[in-house]
Amino acid sequence: MAAGLELRLLRPHAHLFFAVGLRCGVAARVRASVAGPALLVVAGVALVLAAFKTDASLSGGPQTWHGLIHGLAFLTLVASLLLSLLFLWWRLRRDPLWRGYGLYTLITAVLYLALLFLSASQWAFYLFLALVLVWIEVMAVRLRSIASARQPPHVS
């Protein structure tokens, strides 16, 4: 998949707003609970940096600076997204408005790891991307429904 298409699918700027929304939309019990949304912001920035063109061959020879940025951004994206899933699972599991979404986030993290290690094959990489996109969509829809329920009705 071309880097430009991946970026259009994942919409890095929307990813950043999504992280801020989760920060505000999930009850925080402890100070460390900000880590999940903060790591989503890091993942969003890494996703933007992953737009740098990758090198044709990663196995040998010198790398270009933009290939190096792409590679480091990918590693940052993978690590920060996995850690954010784990921190968000910890935060969601006790919030009554998000009942069941904590377990869903934990299952997503476990599948994330499994598909990450299998992602050398093309189909596993596409499943990996689909898993992340579906998790973001499910969480965003839930966040929107919670925000809509909190708004007072419009009086005409």
| Structural domain total, the chain | 1
For residue 156, is it within any domain?
no
Alpha carbon distances (Å) from 117 to 36, 110, 123: 22, 11, 12
Cα–Cα distance for residue pair 131/108, rounded to 1 Å: 7
Task: Give pLDDT tens digits for 26-76.
Answer: 555 555 568 888 888 888 888 888 877 777 766 666 678 778 888 888 899
For residue 113, is it within any domain?
yes
Task: Give pLDDT tens digits for 89-113.
Answer: 988 888 888 889 999 999 999 999 9
Would you state the pLDDT for residue 24? 53
Read off the pLDDT band of 5 (50, 70, 90).
Answer: very low
The amino acid at 18 = F
For residue 13, is it within any domain?
yes
Would you state the pLDDT for residue 2? 47
Query: Quick one: 84 exposed, middle or buried, by C-beta within 10 A (0-12, 13-18, 19+)?
Result: buried
Q: How long, in residues, is the chain?
A: 156
For residue 39, is it within any domain?
yes
For residue 65, is it within any domain?
yes
Q: What range does the domain containing 80 cover? A: 3-150
